[in-house]
């Protein structure tokens, strides 16, 4: 993305959004933004810095949809901010170009998360807070660049089934893996028998790359795929790729103990993310999907 064009668009969108600070962008520096979006640090004429995410339009995800994706992220960031447990960057403006769309937000000077025990305590606090009465969200959003169905459901199992069906349909797994996917859907209610579930606010994509600490050591979270769901669903991706300490999970489960059948459900929640990675990044995740299906069904 040409920095000059993006800088001009960011300035216009900040003005339209009512941003109270300086809207003149003097530089756009590319930074690491993960595998889905391009990322920049915008320096304003005042010296203030903003963080800008940009997504290039692609087949099946046009510029308007890119803007909708960032609108959904804005809503997720605001829900997490209102929860008051973690520091969360404030979204400032969403804008659309012919080539894609962007989200400008508060820049936080992040560094590695050190106090993981405190992070676990705060995560449990967020999950225990009373909020929605149903499972889902007022609108669909995205996990990475994959649409995430969020239609409100009275039953968590019903929403989970919709999401797993969606990912399995996109994955088109064949052979034994495909058969296991259908078997899991049929048996899904059995994994939740006797388990009390109430809606918790879920970040939704909480791997180690989506959290950090600020300059004061306060835990920070960002890049959410928010919904109201079963608190255990948050832990799926957290256990998949490492980066979280045993102390974090110990602190979390001191507040929210593991319920019977936890390990099987954890495999199902990991499967959701493994399927999403398979759909986003390709066949390298097929073995992981098959292994998690076997683990859940064994």
Per-residue model confidence as pLDDT tens digits over 99-136: 999 999 999 999 999 999 999 999 999 999 998 999 99
Instruction: Quote the CA–CA distance of 74 and 35 in Å, as a whole number.
Output: 19
Residue 111 C-alpha from the chain's centroid:
19
Q: How far, in Å, CA of 17 to CA of 15, rounded?
A: 5
Active site annotation includes 205: yes
What is the predicted pLDDT for the residue at 190?
98
Sole residue written with tokens 């893996």: 177
DSSP character for 13? H
Tally of CA atoms within 13 A in the half-sphere of 133 that contains its CB = 0
Give the closest residue to 14 by CA, choosing from 62, 61, 46.
Answer: 46
pTM of the model: 0.96
pLDDT at 248: 99
pLDDT at residue 33 in the model = 76
Catalytic hit among 205, 214, 223, 263: 205
Cα distance between residue 274 and residue 145, in whole Å: 14
Is 69 in a helix, a strand, or coil?
helix
Distance CA 190, CA 269 (A): 15
pLDDT at 32: 87
- CA–CA separation, 228 vs 202, rounded Å? 6
pLDDT of residue 2: 60
**Tens-digit pLDDT string for the chain (298 aa):** 567 899 999 999 999 999 989 999 999 999 987 788 999 999 999 999 999 999 999 988 899 999 999 999 999 999 999 999 999 999 999 999 999 999 999 999 999 999 999 999 999 999 999 989 999 999 999 999 999 999 999 999 999 999 999 999 999 999 999 999 999 999 999 999 999 999 999 999 999 999 999 999 999 999 999 999 999 999 999 999 999 999 999 999 999 999 999 999 999 999 999 999 999 999 999 999 999 999 999 9
Task: Give the per-residue pLDDT at 1.
Answer: 53
**pLDDT per residue over 233-243, tens digit each?**
999 999 999 99
């Amino acid at each position: 993305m040409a920095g000059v064009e993006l800088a001009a668009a960011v300035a216009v969108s900040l003005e339209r959004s009512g941003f109270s600070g300086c809207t003149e962008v003097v530089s756009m520096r590319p930074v690491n933004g993960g595998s889905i979006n391009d990322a920049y640090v915008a320096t304003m004429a005042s010296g203030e810095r903003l963080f800008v995410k940009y997504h290039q339009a692609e087949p099946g995800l046009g510029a308007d949809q890119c803007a909708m994706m960032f609108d959904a992220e804005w809503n997720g960031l605001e829900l997490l901010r209102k929860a008051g447990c973690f520091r969360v960057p404030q979204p400032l403006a969403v804008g659309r170009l012919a080539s894609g769309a962007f989200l400008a937000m508060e820049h936080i000077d992040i560094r590695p998360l050190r106090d993981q025990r405190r992070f676990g305590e705060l995560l449990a606090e967020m999950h225990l807070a009373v909020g929605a009465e149903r499972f889902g969200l007022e609108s669909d959003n995205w996990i990475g660049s994959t649409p995430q169905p969020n239609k409100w459901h009275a039953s968590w199992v019903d929403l989970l089934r919709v999401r797993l069906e969606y990912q399995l349909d996109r994955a088109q797994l064949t052979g034994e893996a495909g058969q296991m996917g259908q078997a899991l859907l049929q048996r899904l209610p059995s994994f939740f028998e006797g388990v009390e579930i109430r809606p918790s606010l879920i970040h939704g994509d909480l791997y180690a790359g989506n959290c950090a600490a600020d300059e004061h050591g306060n835990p920070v979270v960002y890049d959410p795929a928010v919904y109201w769901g079963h608190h255990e669903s948050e832990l799926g991706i957290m256990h998949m790729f490492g980066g979280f300490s045993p102390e974090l999970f110990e602190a979390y489960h001191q507040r929210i103990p593991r319920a019977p059948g936890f390990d099987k459900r954890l495999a199902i929640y990991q499967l959701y993310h493994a399927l999403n990675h398979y759909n986003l990044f390709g066949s390298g995740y097929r073995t992981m999907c098959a292994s998690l299906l076997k683990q859940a069904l064994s």
